């Protein structure tokens, strides 16, 4: 089990982050970026899981600049609230929440090399972090909403990237995933016979087989690039 601590971005903004430590020496650091539902129980479970695999995990509360203490479920009302909060964060003046993610990377770096991983909106932010931020050695994106747009696919990552998508994802059309794959031949892209949110066992879209395979690939990728 982890705990919340406070981190401070370069502009002086202080925000909470959930931190989970491995039982033994850390293999490296890992920043985990939330969906649009906050650092909720699922994201904390993800952080705890990767800590159990040997990583020092930091999950920053990236809604904090617009609203504190966000922890949503997965009902339609939660989805609507999360979409509104995401829009508010995306509207912040640059660098916006990327400053908070950079602070989380710096904290995770105490454990060695750092990877970043995100889900849905967090997957998009992981991609942006791979392209724009410093101190990373690898990036993983799960069904990064918006990441396959032409503007995002035109970015150039500084580090190796692993991306997981679901072929039944109505939020991320499969043709846009293929366009992303063509635009980013250096990225490792996998598509699963699953829907958006397939990794989250709190959602109806959960697909145990796809989640298991994606996690195995993620752990192998992290071991290769972080340790």
- What's the mean pLDDT when you consider all of the chain? 97
Residue 45 has φ and ψ, to the nearest 5°, of -65, -40
Residue 134 in 3-state DSSP? coil
Least Cα distance to 115 among 105, 101, 125, 107 occurs for 105
Residue 163 in 3-state DSSP? strand
pLDDT (tens digit per residue) in 158-194: 999 999 999 999 999 999 999 999 999 999 999 999 9
Q: What is the DSSP string of 192-211?
A: ESS-TTTT-TTSTT--HHHH
Query: What gap in Å lies between CA 83 and CA 35, rounded to an integer?
Result: 10
Write down the residue that tokens 């990441």 correspond to.
147
Which are the catalytic amino acids? 120, 169, 196
Please tell me the predicted confidence (pLDDT) of residue 1. 76
Tell me the average pLDDT across 38-63.
Answer: 98
Domain holding 26: CATH number?
Answer: 3.40.50.1820
Please tell me the predicted confidence (pLDDT) of residue 109. 98
Helices (DSSP H) in the chain: which residue ranges?
Answer: 41-52, 76-90, 98-108, 121-132, 150-153, 174-183, 208-225
Query: Number of structural domains, the chain?
Result: 1
What order of strands is seen across the sheet that includes strand 188-192?
Answer: 3-8, 14-20, 55-60, 28-33, 114-119, 138-142, 161-166, 188-192
Write down the residue that tokens 């602070």 correspond to.
103
Residue 137 in this model has a pLDDT that exceeds 90? yes
**Six token digits for residue 213:** 């395979």
Query: What gap in Å lies between CA 20 and CA 26, rounded to an integer?
Result: 11
Residue 148 in this model has a pLDDT that exceeds 90? yes
Q: Considering the entire predicted model, what is its pTM?
A: 0.98
Instruction: List for the chain the helix, strand, coil content (%; round to 5).
Output: 35, 20, 40
Provide the percentage of residues in the chain whose pLDDT is more than 90. Answer: 98
* Residues linked to residue 6 through DSSP beta bridges, in sequence order: 16
38 — pLDDT class (breaks 50, 70, 90) = very high
Residue 53 in this model has a pLDDT that exceeds 90? yes
Q: Which domain holds residue 53?
A: 3-225
pLDDT (tens digit per residue) in 72-95: 999 999 999 999 999 999 999 999
Query: What gap in Å lies between CA 142 and CA 164, rounded to an integer?
Result: 5
227 — pLDDT class (breaks 50, 70, 90) = confident
Question: Residue 180 in contact with residue 189, Cβ under 8 Å?
Answer: yes
Query: What gap in Å lies between CA 58 and CA 121, rounded to an integer?
Result: 17
115 — pLDDT class (breaks 50, 70, 90) = very high
Residue 34 in this model has a pLDDT that exceeds 80? yes
């Amino acid at each position: 089990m982890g705990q919340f601590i406070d981190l401070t971005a370069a502009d002086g903004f202080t925000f909470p982050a959930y931190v989970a430590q491995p039982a033994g020496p850390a293999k490296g650091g890992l920043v985990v970026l939330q969906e649009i539902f906050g650092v909720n129980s699922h994201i904390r479970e993800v952080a705890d899981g990767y800590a159990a695999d040997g990583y020092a995990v930091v999950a920053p509360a990236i809604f904090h600049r617009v609203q504190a203490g966000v922890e949503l479920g997965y009902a339609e009302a939660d989805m609507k609230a999360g979409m509104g909060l995401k829009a508010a964060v995306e509207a912040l003046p640059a660098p916006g929440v990327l400053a908070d993610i950079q602070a989380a990377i710096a904290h995770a770096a105490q454990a060695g090399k750092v990877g970043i991983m995100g889900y849905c909106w967090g997957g998009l932010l992981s991609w942006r972090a791979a392209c724009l931020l410093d101190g990373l050695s690898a990036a993983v994106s799960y069904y990064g909403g918006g990441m396959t747009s032409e503007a995002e696919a035109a970015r150039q990552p500084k580090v190796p990237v692993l991306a997981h998508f679901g072929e039944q994802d109505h939020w991320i059309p499969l043709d846009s995933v293929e366009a992303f794959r063509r635009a980013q031949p250096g990225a490792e892209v996998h598509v699963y016979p699953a829907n958006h949110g397939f990794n989250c066992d709190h959602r109806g879209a959960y697909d145990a087989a796809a989640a298991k395979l994606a996690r195995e690939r993620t752990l192998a990728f992290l071991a290769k690039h972080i340790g």
